[in-house]
Amino acid sequence: MNKLETSKELVAANREQRKDQTFPQASQDEKDKIVRLFHPDYHAEGYRPIRIGPNKGERTVHEIADLLESKSPLFKEELSLKPAHSTDILIIGGGGAGAAAALAAKEAGADVMIATKLRFGDSNTVMAEGGMQVAAGKDDSPITHFKDTMKGGHFKNDPLLLKTLVEEGPSAAQWLLGLGISFDRDEEGNLKLKSGGGTSRPRLLTCKDYTGLELMRTLKDAVLNEGIRILEFSPAVELLSDGRGACTGAVLKNLDAHQWIVVQAKTVILATGGSGRLHIQGFPTSNHFGATADGLPLACRMGASLTMADTFQYHPTGVAFPEQMAGILVTEAIRGAGAQLVNRSGARFVYELETRDFVAASIIKECAEGRGVETPSGKKGVWLDFPMVNLKNGPDYLDHHFPNMIRQFSRFQMDVRKEPILIYPTLHYQNGGVKINVDGESEIKNLFVAGEASGGIHGRNRLMGNSLLDIIVYGRRAGKAASARAKMAEPGNLTLEHLDRFNQELEKASIHPGKTSPILFPDYVRKEEVTKKSA
Ligand code: MEZ
């Protein structure tokens, strides 16, 4: 028997004994200490100062700093800025935030166009499994939701952005129900609320473990029914300005024809999502293929600042084995339902519903100190004891509530009803992003930002389920505000003048980047293949 199998047997052997065991929550001091020592946000060597732009002097990870200091792929002298399309609002990004913004803008009477890098709906939204937080329980309130989220974010959240998020939670859920989302309900037909890490009340509205997928289906149907124009396979590569600091459109790249497409817009909403596919500090990711932080260099080259660009979320439970699934999300809801985290000897080492940064740091610590389990290729992980869920809740619980998990692992002949799964933290979410106000507007006039590309709402550590709420609340707010602005505005001049200032800054700082940004796709070319071909 190999090491994995031997350890799995230990986990099975003491499962019954662990069933009613309570594990103490850590003190704040202990949490802070472990997070500082083991969370990747505190690995000094992963970071460097940004040398130019609105965040000059601040630290971020190498991967983001490199993007911010890369050149635009466009040369102003070579490009005619004659628009191929003209619209009131250009929404860049076809995930949940972009779709919610499009619906709100359309409802407010604007002419809307969505441009998306891949297909409409390809986004991190569909990857969110475990739920959307809304203070809808009898003993819950937006104030309690606010307090939990502030605590989870280490009190670094922008209070006004957060207040608006939690207050508008119930109406956001109502809006989605009106569009036809099928949230889970109890036997009496009431909405069912589940628990997540760091929440003092059950507050998650769920669609089994397919919540983001069902949410995106609902939004997508509504957008298609409204007849909103969508350009697929057309990512933005540069924003356009009127020469006086306001945003007036964007240049897209048609990935099929390899041509630039110029879009003139009275307002632009960036909803380009997160950065997991940058594989920050070498971590695997739970993110979709297009998550390459495109919005950040675009906004910064225009002069918009970022906030908290140094903090990222590593979801505690990404798959560690089988390695073909490395990094794929195992929903936190499984821990909410009673699954325990145990080390190589089958011993628990952390209370499973602490906030994500602490749970992730505790797993990294357990492995670093030799109590993890080694995969055949030498990777490390700890067990997430799935069968405990049925032991605690009844023999069919996993089938009813976690069909996605059962299906994903069954493709590798693994039955989560019978065996634990080896997990390790996976790069999941960009906590910071472009600074916005409560209407979703950045520091650049007529440039709005919604969803994961924006920053400030979640502080330095997002709670589970708050991003699905964020994309609805702030997607809609940005859509409404951009529409109101567009009503008062005339189409602006189309220039790339902001690139002159940006290029001068690069020059002055003696930065001569070999690369351009946004990068649009992760670089998965195997280095040895390149070497072979060029030999
Ligand atoms: O909000 C999330 O990140 C989420 C719902 C993830 C999960 O564990 O399912």
- Give per-residue pLDDT as tens, 361-410: 999 999 999 999 999 899 999 999 999 999 999 999 999 999 999 999 99
How remote is the CA of residue 365 from the centroid of ligand 1, in Å?
22
pLDDT surpasses 60 at 206: yes
Which residue is closest in CA terms to ligand 1's atom 2?
A: 464
Per-residue model confidence (pLDDT) at position 491: 93
Q: How do beta strands 59-61 and 47-49 pair?
A: antiparallel
Which of 385, 399, 463, 407 minimizes the C-alpha distance to 431? 463
Report pTM.
0.96
By most ligand atoms within 8 Å of CB, the mutation choice from 194, 331, 463 for ligand 1 is: 331
Point out the ligand 1 atom lying closest to the alpha carbon of residue 428: 3
115 CA → ligand 1 middle, Å: 26
Q: Which atom of ligand 1 is nearest to the CA of 463?
A: 1
Given the structure tokens 């972009």, which residue do they identify?
98
Q: How far is Cα 81 from Cα 492, in angstroms, rounded to an integer?
A: 12
How many residues does this entry show for the chain?
A: 535
What digits encode the pLDDT tens for the residues 479-504?
999 999 999 999 999 999 999 999 99
DSSP letters, 279-306, are -GGG--B-S-TT-S-THHHHHHHHTPPE
Mean pLDDT value of segment 81-95: 98
Whole-number pLDDT of residue 3: 82
pLDDT for res 1? 66
Q: What is the dihedral of CA 89, 91, 92, 97, to 10 degrees?
A: 150
How far apart (Å, rounded) are the C-alpha atoms in residues 132 and 169?
9
Residue nearest to atom 3 of ligand 1 (CA): 464
Tens digits of residue pLDDT in 207-233: 999 999 999 999 999 999 999 999 999
Q: How sure is the predictor about 530, in pLDDT bands with cuts at 50, 70 and 90?
A: low
Please state, in angstroms and rounded to a whole number, the distance separating the CA atoms of residues 281 and 45.
Answer: 9
| φ and ψ at residue 340, rounded to 5 degrees | -105, 155
93-114, pLDDT tens digit by residue? 999 999 999 999 999 999 999 9
| 85 carries an active-site annotation | no
Question: If you average pLDDT over residues 297-315, what whole number do you get?
Answer: 98
% of the chain exceeding 70 in pLDDT: 98
Write the pLDDT tens digit of every residue in 244-269.
999 999 999 999 999 999 999 999 99
Give the closest residue (by CA) to ligand 1 atom 5.
Answer: 130
- Predicted pLDDT at 139: 95
Q: How far does the centroid of ligand 1 lie from the alpha carbon of residue 531, in Å?
A: 39
Q: Quote the ligand 1 centre to 401 CA distance (angstroms).
A: 15
Q: Which tens digits make up the pLDDT trace of 341-368? A: 999 999 999 999 999 999 999 999 999 9
| CA 430 centroid distance within chain | 6
Could you tell me the sign of the dihedral formed by the alpha carbons of 398, 400, 405, 407, in that order?
positive
Mean pLDDT of 54-58: 98
From 194, 210, 352, 464, the mutation candidate for ligand 1 (largest count of ligand atoms within 8 A of CB) is: 464
335 is catalytic: yes
Residue 525: pLDDT band (50, 70, 90) is confident
| 485 C-alpha to ligand 1 centroid (Å) | 34
| pLDDT computed for residue 2 by the predictor | 79
Res. 535 pLDDT band, cuts 50 70 90? very low
- Distance between Cα 300 and ligand 1 center (Å): 28
Q: How far is the CA of 211 from the centre of ligand 1 (A)?
A: 9
Q: Give me the pLDDT at residue 532, please.
A: 57
Q: How confident is the model at residue 531 (pLDDT cuts 50, 70, 90)?
A: low
Give the start-end residues of each E strand in 108-196: 112-115, 132-133
Q: Name the band, by pLDDT with cuts 50, 70 and 90, for residue 89.
A: very high
What is the structure's pLDDT at 167? 98
Residue 169: pLDDT over 80: yes
Alpha-carbon gap, residue 426 to 509, rounded angstroms: 35
Tell me the chain's radius of gyration from C-alpha atoms: 23
Ligand 1 atom closest to residue 211's alpha carbon, by position in its atom list: 5
Catalytic residue among 39, 315, 356, 476: 315
Burial (Cβ within 10 Å: 0-12, 13-18, ≥19) of residue 324: exposed
Q: Peptide bond before 322: cis, by omega within 30 degrees of 0?
A: yes
For residues 78 and 278, give the distance between their C-alpha atoms in angstroms, rounded to a whole number.
30
366 Cα–ligand 1 center, Å? 23
What's the CA gap between 84 and 508, in Å, rounded? 35
Instruction: Domains for the chain: give ranges and CATH numbers.
Output: 3-38+314-427 (3.90.700.10), 85-311+431-488 (3.50.50.60)
Using a pLDDT cut of 90, give the percent of the chain over it: 95
Rounded-to-integer distance, Cα 515 and Cα 290, Å:
18
Q: Of all atoms in ligand 1, which is nearest to the CA of residue 209? A: 9
Per-residue pLDDT, 529: 58
3-state secondary structure of 241: strand
Atom of ligand 1 nearest to the CA of 212: 5
**pLDDT tens across 409-432, in order?**
999 999 999 999 999 999 999 999
* Half-sphere exposure of residue 433: CA atoms within 13 angstroms, side-chain side: 33
Contact 473, 169 (CB under 8 A): yes
3 state SS of 42: helix
Q: Which of 335, 344, 458, 476 is catalytic?
A: 335
Quick one: pLDDT at residue 302? 97
Pocket of ligand 1 (CB under 6 A): 128-131, 329, 331-333, 464-465, 467
Question: Looking only at Cα atoms, what is the longest distance across the chain?
Answer: 72
Nearest to 446 by CA among 411, 468, 478: 478
